[in-house]
């Protein structure tokens, strides 16, 4: 598979009035096109910092980011970003919310209009296009936020605790929903979560970070039988609890140090 993202020797030190905070140290990994990789690690270990650096919104202290072999500085158009809050604007309709990214980038066109319309139709939101965000359930709002991100045709999607504001039942349904959309649209996904089950259920690999300064402790390959391979059904697999125990121990050891 083609390599789409390379994170090379990334380190980050925040300068604060109280001194330096070393957030990340020497992070190295690669993503293949179409791969789903999760990052887990103790709270404050630098997960969000890492995604912000990859997105170009935060400066790195050292290291390099390559997308499709090209070194990137600053914000890349190949990258979409989804956060915990869906950040939908309550005073805009669903349609004008999903058009927002294109509007901000100044790339609204007849084609992009058509593309967004198709996405909304494909994922059962078109009939809600004139509604306002507060008229939709949490799960649907997250799907709208996803389509707003997909509208700019990113190749890589970064998700930072994107589902953690949802209640447990909804979260399981929404991760399944979003997983299927991303696979269909051939997106490569880098997922930050503190939920071990979510990481296993959505990923081809799981990267475990140490506590701050975050370094890579381990990278696990997650494999299920073909028929088990969706975020809901894989939870039934005996392999699931095996992966869970391994990751749980690895994180637990770190938290208690």
Give residues in contact with Mg ion (CB under 5 A): 48
> Site map for ligand ADP, 46-65, x if CB under 6 A?
xxxx----------------
Residue 44 touching ligand ADP (CB under 6 A): yes
Residue 215 touching ligand ADP (CB under 6 A): no
Helical residues (DSSP H) of the chain, grouped into ranges? 47-55, 94-98, 100-104, 110-122, 138-150, 168-184, 196-202, 238-256
Q: Which of 202, 205, 196, 145 is nearest to 5 (CA)?
A: 205
Q: Please enumerate in sequence order all residues whose Cβ is within 8 A of that of 101, keeping only pairs 6 or more positions apart, or say none.
A: 148, 149, 151, 152
What does the block give as tokens for 121? Answer: 């139709």
Residue 255 touching ligand ADP (CB under 6 A): no
Nearer to Mg ion (CB atom), residue 48 or residue 97: 48
Phi/psi for 234 (5° steps) reads -65, -20
Residue 21 touching ligand ADP (CB under 6 A): yes
The alpha carbon dihedral of 59, 64, 65, 71 has a sign of positive
Proportion of the chain in helix, strand, coil states, percent, rounded to 5: 40, 25, 35
Residue 7 touching ligand ADP (CB under 6 A): no
Nearer to ligand ADP (CB atom), residue 112 or residue 203: 203
Nearer to ligand ADP (CB atom), residue 23 or residue 147: 23
Nearer to ligand ADP (CB atom), residue 38 or residue 49: 49
Q: Quick one: what does residue 38 bind among Mg ion, ligand ADP, none, with the CB cut-off 5 to 8 Å set by partner type?
A: none
Q: How would you class 165 by CB atoms within 10 Å of its CB: exposed for 0-12, middle for 13-18, buried for 19 or more?
A: middle
| Distance in angstroms (rounded) separating the CA atoms of residues 250 and 254 | 7
Choosing from 13, 14, 26, 68, the residue that interacts with ligand ADP (CB under 6 A) is 14
Choosing from 4, 10, 23, 162, the residue that interacts with ligand ADP (CB under 6 A) is 23
Nearer to Mg ion (CB atom), residue 14 or residue 126: 14
Place of tokens 């381990």: 218
Residue 43 touching ligand ADP (CB under 6 A): yes
Choosing from 1, 2, 16, 90, the residue that interacts with ligand ADP (CB under 6 A) is 16
Q: Which residues here bind ligand ADP, judged by CB under 6 A?
A: 14, 16, 21, 23, 41, 43-49, 212
């Amino acid at each position: 598979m083609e390599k789409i993202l390379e994170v090379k020797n990334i380190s980050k030190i925040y300068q604060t009035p109280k001194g330096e905070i070393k957030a990340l140290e020497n992070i190295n990994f690669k993503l293949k096109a179409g791969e789903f990789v999760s990052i887990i690690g103790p709270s404050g270990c630098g997960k969000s910092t890492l995604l912000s650096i990859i997105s170009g919104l935060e400066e790195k202290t050292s290291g390099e980011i390559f997308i499709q072999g090209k070194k990137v500085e600053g914000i890349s158009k190949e990258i979409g970003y989804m956060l915990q809050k869906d950040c939908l604007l309550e005073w805009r309709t669903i349609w004008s919310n999903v058009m927002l990214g294109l509007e901000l980038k100044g790339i609204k066109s007849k084609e992009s209009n058509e593309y967004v319309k198709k996405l909304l139709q494909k994922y059962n939101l078109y009939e809600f296009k004139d509604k306002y965000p507060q008229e939709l359930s949490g799960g649907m709002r997250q799907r709208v936020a996803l389509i707003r991100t997909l509208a700019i045709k990113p190749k890589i999607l970064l998700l930072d605790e994107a589902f953690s504001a949802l209640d447990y039942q909804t979260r399981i349904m929404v991760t399944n929903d979003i997983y299927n959309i991303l696979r269909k649209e051939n997106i490569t996904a880098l997922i930050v979560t503190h939920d071990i089950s979510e990481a296993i259920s959505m990923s081809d690999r799981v990267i475990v970070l140490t506590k701050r300064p975050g370094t890579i402790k381990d990278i696990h390959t997650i494999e299920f039988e073909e028929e088990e391979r969706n975020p809901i059904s894989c939870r039934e697999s005996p392999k699931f609890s095996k992966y869970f125990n391994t990751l749980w121990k690895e994180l637990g050891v770190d938290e208690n140090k």
